[in-house]
């Protein structure tokens, strides 16, 4: 596993990683944005890529409402799909991108899957303006674990926040999508 926290990057490498992160996050944003034109828009998308080559393995969006499954978050779905595709329970050697900072459940799952790295767009606090959240930062979850996973973000935060403010998403929120119970 690559320990990103211990790496001493040569000059220019950090800029390259940042631009690759932005490119992948933009691609994930566009993938997730497509849900805004469906009957079930969601602001949450996840992408898993090979850490070394950047080759895309899987993408997924949140499916809680359609599956009537509170655990059907984009990050969990992406990990499940990736493990099935690879026919193994470990995603060591892979990085996950998420349009919003993973909740404690999703970050725990990323750690159990042995992902090298998690990169997020909007923060949990950003998402909490519109949806219920478990307000524990992903970095805090990672620090409490025996497993190692670098957590980076926010990346393209303002862009990813527009998934929450899209008019179709706002209509879904008003209709009761992931709102606190009265």
CA distances 143 to 61, 104, 111, 134, Å, are: 26, 12, 11, 17
Q: Which residues pair with 100 in a beta bridge?
A: 122
Output helix, strand, coil percentages for the chain, rounded to the nearest 5. 45, 15, 40
Which of 163, 177, 99 is CA-nearest to residue 131? 177
Residue 38: which residues within 8 A CB-CB, separation 6 or more? Answer: none
Q: Which among 23, 37, 55, 75 is annotated as catalytic?
A: 75
Residue 118: how many CA atoms within 13 Å on its side-chain side? 35
The total of other beta-carbon atoms located within 10 Å of residue 13's CB is: 11
For 10-47, the DSSP string reads: PTTHHHHHHHHHHHHHHHHHHHHHGGGGSSS--S-EEE
75 is catalytic: yes
Length of the chain: 182
- Residues acting as catalytic residues: 75
């Amino acid at each position: 596993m690559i320990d990103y926290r211990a790496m001493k990057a040569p000059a220019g490498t950090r800029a390259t990683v940042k631009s690759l992160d932005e490119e992948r996050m933009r691609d994930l944003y566009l993938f997730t944005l497509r849900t805004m034109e469906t009957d079930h828009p969601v602001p949450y998308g996840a992408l898993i890529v090979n850490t070394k080559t950047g080759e895309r393995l899987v993408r997924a969006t949140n499916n809680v409402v359609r599956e009537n499954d509170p655990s059907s978050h984009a990050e969990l779905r992406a990990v499940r799909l990736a493990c099935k595709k690879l026919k193994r329970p470990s995603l060591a050697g892979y990085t996950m991108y998420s349009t919003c900072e993973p909740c404690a459940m999703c970050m725990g799952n990323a750690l159990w899957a042995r992902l090298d790295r998690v990169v997020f767009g909007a923060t949990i606090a950003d998402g909490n303006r519109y949806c219920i959240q478990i307000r524990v930062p992903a970095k805090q979850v990672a620090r409490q674990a025996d497993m190692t996973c670098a957590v980076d973000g926010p990346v393209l935060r303002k862009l990813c926040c527009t998934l929450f403010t899209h008019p179709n998403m706002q209509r879904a929120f008003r209709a009761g999508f992931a709102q606190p119970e009265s």
